[in-house]
Structure 1
């Protein structure tokens, strides 16, 4: 079993320097408990990168969240440059539902913009599962808000990253007997967006994982 006392002491001194809320602590405990119950014999670097991904994708909340799509025009053009012209960005700005329906239309298993699938299957959870196809994979196509359930969100986080269900890349591709690629592992989730930041978080989590118990 992981030394939880050391883990929380160390991570609080690195990634939670302004203080850790009870909900953040509960979220971290839930991820550690799932790992210890289901994957304790696997590579600890996998756990570190899973924790870092949840930390990044939830804005350090460590609880399942819904995607914030309340973009202004500049944010839209930066985040979804392929799906909005400057004029369209101005027209869609600060309209989250319309933004989701446009940005996620005709991909990820979604229908067209008018179908409303983009909003229905917007990002949710600890890893921001997105698109009808991904919700179907996890059996929650008919109940998409289930991705915000703690147990479901944790299961999706681990399953998707271990088995490569999000992008085709898995934890084992980047952390194994021959490879340790903290930055490249971002491809498991989202190409290389903020890869170095997530790598830094993951190294901090890895340094916090210890099995040494105080006497």
Structure 2
């Protein structure tokens, strides 16, 4: 992958202020490293949708996020009925049964240590496995993005119904262009 070109295109096409802080570069660089190690897991259009989803779900940071990140842990404990299994990761893994399921699938005990879902490597594996195998909603990415079609709008069903699907679909088109120019 031509990282220099990737960052240039990303900055020009997706970064609102057209500048990247070192923190943004580091987070995206780590995500790109994990992508490169796993690039055969998906097609480029499928990866474009993964990138678009993470871009949106992390508020453009490419860092794992925790639900209600601006509030304290004590607030989450008092107010989230599914505490301590609140949303964490590149996409919001939530509820005890999902933590238990991914603990078994990943062979990492995020059920007893839910904070592990914030570690980038673990969050990344949860992300791509869940998208490929339909572990979030029962729908996998190949149902919407495959050799015959690229339905980035409906691909939102893989993660979260129709919430923000038009915006994320537009991001996916842009990421597809960037990836095709840089891999």
Normalising by structure 2, we get a TM-score of: 0.86
Indicate the residue corresponding to 2:87 in structure 1: 123
Deviation at 1:96, TM superposition (A): 4.2
How far off its partner does 1:211 sit?
5.4
| Pairing 1:4–2:3 present | yes
Which residue of structure 1 lines up, in the alignment, with residue 79 of structure 2? Answer: 99
What are the ranges of 5 or more consecutive residues in structure 2 without an aligned counterpart? 104-109
Shift of 1:46: 1.3
Aligned CA RMSD, in angstroms, stands at 2.0
TM-score under structure 1 length normalisation = 0.74
Q: Name the stretch that deviates more: 18-27 or 151-160.
A: 18-27
Partner in structure 1 of residue 22 of structure 2: 22
Indicate how the Cα distance of structure 1 residues 69 and 154 shifts in structure 2: closer, same or farther if over 3 A, else same: closer
Count of residues paired in the alignment = 173
CA distance in 1, matches of 2:37, 2:91: 20
Q: Answer whether contact 1:70 1:96 (CA < 8 A) is retained.
A: no
Where structure 1 has 5 or more consecutive residues not aligned to the other structure, the ranges are: 72-94, 102-117
Q: Kindly indicate whether the alpha-carbon contact (under 8 Å) linking 2:44 and 2:180 is maintained by their aligned counterparts in 1.
A: no
Structure 1 residue 41: Cα displacement = 6.4
Tell me whether 52-61 or 185-194 shows the greater mean CA deviation: 52-61
State the Cα deviation string for residues 43-62 of structure 1 (Å, max 9, x = none): 10111111111111111111
Q: CA deviation at 1:151?
A: 0.8
CA offsets, 1:152-202, max 9 Å, x none?
Answer: 111111111111110111111111111110100000100010100111111
